[in-house]
Amino acid sequence: MKRRSLLLSGAGVAGALLVGWGVLPPRGRIGRPATLADAQDRIVLNGWIRITPAGRVVLAMNRSEMGQGVHTALAMLVAEELDIGLAKIDLEDAGADSLYGNVAALLGGLPEHPRDAEPGHETATVLAGRWVVAKLARELGLSLTGGSASVADAWEPLRLAAATARARLVGAASLQWKLPVDELEVRDGVVSHPGTVQRADFGALAREAAATPPGDVRLKSPEQWSLLGRTQPRVDVPRKVDGSAVFGLDVRLPGQLYAVVRHAPQLGGSPGRFDVDAALRQPGVSRVVRLMPFAGSTPAVAVVGRSTWHARRGADALDIEWRGPPAGTLDSTRIAESLAQRARAAALADEGFAFTARGDADDALARAERRVERLYQAPYLAHATLEPPNCTARVADGGVELWAPTQVPSFARALAARVAGVPEERVTLHVTYLGGGFGRRLETDVIGQAVRIALECGGAPVQLVWPREEDLTHDFYRPAAAALMQAGLDRDGRLQVLRFTSAGDALTPRFLERNAPALALPVDLPDKTADEGLFDLPYAVPHQRMAHAATHSGVPIGNWRAVGHSHNAFFSECFIDELAAEANQDPVAFRLGLLEDMPRHAAVLTLAAEKAGWGRTRPPGVARGVALHECFGSIVAQVVEASLDAGRPRVRRVVVAADVGTVVNPGIVAQQMESAVVFALSAALYGRIDIVASRVQQTNFPNHPILTLAETPRIETHLVPSTRPPGGVGEPGLPPLAPALANALFVLTGRRLRELPLTV
């Protein structure tokens, strides 16, 4: 009895601790000065900000710059609260402390419905879920750039860190000059007293500021902003223009070697017997390394040489006997057929996990005056970043040093440590500029391979580069998907029921298995990314059932720009357009009728329609299509003007309206909307990955085309003013493009296109 009492007592203490932890708020995110160890003559004011003797501000940058402008946006948050010019802020890698984790990205994984999560009207379930996930995310401290969450995540902690640093600096001046804080002002990094000659820059005040309590810290109100909300020049542009910017492929170190990789021609294949003699006889080739699987990669062979050209010549000379995949062959056509069958069967049997269930969808559909049923499908897609996968690694003196264009510093460090057999604190990572990310650089397979090769190179740095053929044929592809869309309307054309059943591979479990095995679960839980863009529609429909039937095809899958929204928005917004036609209503008016209690969505849609001239006469041979979608905390509507040139779709104009919350830099928002439109249009017209006998058929840009400059339409961006915190920007502009184009093509041709890519 005594032992049992002790056990119960221990369980009670543990339970009490857990409950106590649960009710406490997430740990603060300003950080202590000790977070930023600094051997240089710079003063650390908190976990984000250091001051140089010359009065410059050094910001610990915890996000990867891949063209989305995040380095500029985050620097603007700091510059605004510090009252210093943007040009006086320097950026340095943030390091490995959990302080720099991305809390907002993990919060974005919650399966929230916009009607349950509208600010000021959140349900108790939504609030509780956010509380728990925010606490877990803060403790995990996963440093990653993704989910269009960088600015949203930094919005409060970075401004507060800067405001706290400013308060310390002003407080130090107040103590030195024996003047009230309220009488001092700060302008462009200089504290002064207008009534006297007293003035000092941040460098002169920093040391005393580090020992000065901040006192009452207040964030600026929007009326006080001088930088935020105004277009500012991007901090990365000068280096990209003059060639001094360092991308992963630009890394050059003393004694550097170069490597290229060869994977099996078939997905899941591996090298068997191979002869290295022919490769080693090639000029400049020094060694051949067999690679085991790393973070989801398949076994491979790497060749090391004096240059990438030497290594490629050596790899071409390899004589390899390739083994096929152990689990049978993969065929994308058969997979697409099976997904369609699975969606139909799951709908018939009420199978799959229902992310949204409101009213009684089955009964309402059975009683509907008019029933509409359509099947939509989307293919696998590659990322095809213009900078192919690469990493430079050096293993020496019991440590690892990496130079990598990565979106996931936390995962990269952890994998490098495991491969090299060193403690994680012995891994130093330099995050370079990324020549495109789009989710591909959330993967760490190339990191593991580079470290393994570096282990064989005697302490010399080695740069591993994947040729384009390896990139396209061994990607982690956007999952293929199918969705059976069912709806019921009453005799007056009012939409009464929506019943969507989708089928496709669950992405998140596969991603965690290979990149974060400690976080992977023994069983697959419902994956929000598989059904996002279907279960979370804003439209007021009394009866809904949005379910997903998870599959496991065996094709390697990963995050692709806008993830599930990228294809599910095509399914849902094309189907809504079909229902508008069935109800004999204008597509914009039909949507607005379903958004009477969602004013933000209605405002975005109305703005897009007005700016596009919806309802006005169109040029001959040109049609307009519309789509509306919310994702990553932002609402975007697009109107596409399209025509047919020699029987091929041609997009001439895209009008974008968006509510992205508070706008930090309008110029960058417009750039990202344009980027998303171009990326989405490439996928809508050309994007597909075909797999035959486990071999990916697309191998390089000649048979995997992307949009050309001549094909790029005029893109106009209009922003709805908002006082809400910032939402995402990098991805929300992508999902509406394909459905808006498909809806325009219906007007032109009278044919509904229900499969991507779009061909007429």
Give per-residue pLDDT as tens, 606-650: 999 999 999 999 889 999 999 999 999 999 999 999 999 999 999
Q: Which residue has the tokens 């006997």?
A: 321
Residue 10 has pLDDT above 70, yes or no: no
DSSP states along 249-276: GG---TT-EEEEEEE-SSTT-EEEEEE-
Question: Which ranges of 532-640 does DSSP label H, i.e. alpha helix?
Answer: 565-582, 587-593, 599-612
Average pLDDT estimate for 297-311: 98
Interacting residues of 709 by C-beta distance below 8 A, sequence separation 6+: none
- Taking residues 432-451, what's their average pLDDT? 98
- pLDDT higher than 60, residue 19: no
Nearest C-alpha neighbor of 66 from the set 250, 241, 242, 248: 248
Strands, E assignment, 605-671: 623-631, 634-645, 648-659
CA distance 74 to 669: 14
b (16+ CB within 10 A) / e for 211-221:
ebebeebeebe
268-288 pLDDT, tens per residue? 999 999 999 999 999 999 999
pLDDT category, 18, cuts 50, 70, 90?
A: very low
Q: Is 332 exposed, middle or buried (0-12, 13-18, 19+ CB in 10 A)?
A: buried
- Encoding tokens for residue 536? 């979370």
Instruction: Give the per-residue pLDDT at 721.
Output: 97
Q: Give the pLDDT confidence score for residue 40 in this predicted structure.
A: 76
Task: Give the per-residue pLDDT at 500.
Answer: 98
Instruction: Answer yes or no: are the C-beta atoms of 666 and 230 closer than 8 Å.
Output: yes
pLDDT at site 25:
67
Contact in structure between 130 and 110 (CB atoms under 8 Å): yes
Mean pLDDT of the chain: 95
Rounded-to-integer distance, Cα 391 and Cα 43, Å: 33
Q: What is the dihedral of CA 71, 73, 77, 82, to 10 degrees?
A: 60
What is the model's pLDDT at position 41?
Answer: 83
What backbone torsions phi and psi does residue 246 show, to the nearest 5 degrees?
-110, 105
What is residue 606's predicted lDDT score, i.e. its pLDDT? 98
CA-CA distance, 106 to 653, in Å (whole number)?
35
Second-level CATH architecture of 332-382+477-749: 2-Layer Sandwich (3.30)
Structural domain boundaries of the chain? 33-242, 248-326+389-465, 332-382+477-749
For the chain, give the number of residues. Answer: 760
Q: Note the pTM of the prediction, 2 decimals.
A: 0.95
- pLDDT value at position 446? 98
Q: In angstroms, rounded to a whole number, what is the distance separating the alpha carbons of residues 317 and 534?
A: 49
The architecture in CATH of the region 33-242 reads: 2-Layer Sandwich (3.30)
Alpha carbon distances (Å) from 49 to 82, 87, 184, 652: 10, 15, 21, 46
Judged against a pLDDT cut of 70, whether residue 321 lies above it is answered with yes
CA 413 – CA 418 distance, rounded (Å): 9
CB 664 within 8 A of CB 725: no
Confidence at residue 3, expressed as pLDDT on a 0 to 100 scale: 38
Instruction: Quickly tell me which residue has 């910001």 as its tokens.
Output: 59
* pLDDT(482) > 80: yes
* Per-residue model confidence as pLDDT tens digits over 500-544: 999 999 999 999 999 999 999 999 999 999 999 999 999 999 999
- Give me the residue label for tokens 């929000």: 528
Other beta carbons within 10 angstroms of residue 281's beta carbon come to: 10
**What is the C-alpha separation between 608 and 615, in angstroms, rounded?**
12
Cβ-based neighbour number of residue 723 at 10 Å: 7
**Taking a C-beta distance cutoff of 8 angstroms, is the pair 381, 687 a contact?**
yes
Indicate the helix (H) or strand (E) that contains 127. helix 124-140
Mind listing the pLDDT tens digit for each residue in 675-734? Answer: 999 999 999 999 999 999 999 999 999 999 999 999 999 999 999 999 999 999 999 999
H helix runs in 244-360, sequence order: 277-280, 308-317, 332-349
Identity (one letter) of the amino acid at 437? G
d(CA 100, CA 146): 14
- Spatial strand order in the sheet of 300-305: 285-291, 300-305, 257-263, 462-465, 390-396, 399-404, 427-431
| Element spanning 377, H or E | strand 370-378
Are 429 and 412 within 8 A, CB to CB? yes
User: Is there a contact between 282 and 313 (Cβ–Cβ < 8 Å)?
Assistant: yes
E strand spans, 33-162: 43-44, 49-51, 57-61, 89-93
Quick one: which of 57, 95, 106 has its CA closest to 77?
A: 57
Tell me: pLDDT of 226 over 70.
Answer: yes
Strands (E), 379-416: 390-396, 399-404
Give SS3 for 201. strand
| pLDDT on residue 39 | 63
Residue 9 has pLDDT above 60, yes or no: no
Residue whose token pair is 């191998």: 699
Contact 494, 364 (CB under 8 A): no
CA distance 66 to 679: 14
Q: Are 155 and 107 in contact (CB under 8 A)?
A: no
| Burial of residue 322 (number of CB atoms within 10 Å: 0-12, 13-18, 19+) | middle
Report the distance separating Cα 203 and Cα 536, nearest Å: 50
Reduced to 3 states (helix: H, G, I; strand: E, B; else coil), residue 13 is helix
What is the mean pLDDT of the segment spanning 93-101?
Answer: 94
Per the CB < 8 A criterion, the answer to whether 718 and 341 are in contact is: no
Residue 223, SS3 per DSSP: helix
CATH number given to 248-326+389-465: 3.30.365.10
pLDDT band at 119 (very low <50, low <70, confident <90, very high): confident
Does pLDDT of 737 surpass 50? Answer: yes
pLDDT at residue 22 above 80? no
Instruction: Retrieve residue 90's tokens.
Output: 């320097």
Taking the CA of residue 249 as centre, how many other CA atoms within 13 Å lie in the half-sphere pointing to its CB?
15
Separation between Cα atoms, residue 474 and residue 694, nearest integer Å: 11
Query: Which distant-in-sequence residues (6+ apart) come within 8 Å of 483 by Cβ?
Result: 343, 375, 376, 377, 500, 501, 502, 503, 534, 568, 571
Mean pLDDT of 663-668: 98
Q: Is the pLDDT of residue 24 over 80?
A: no
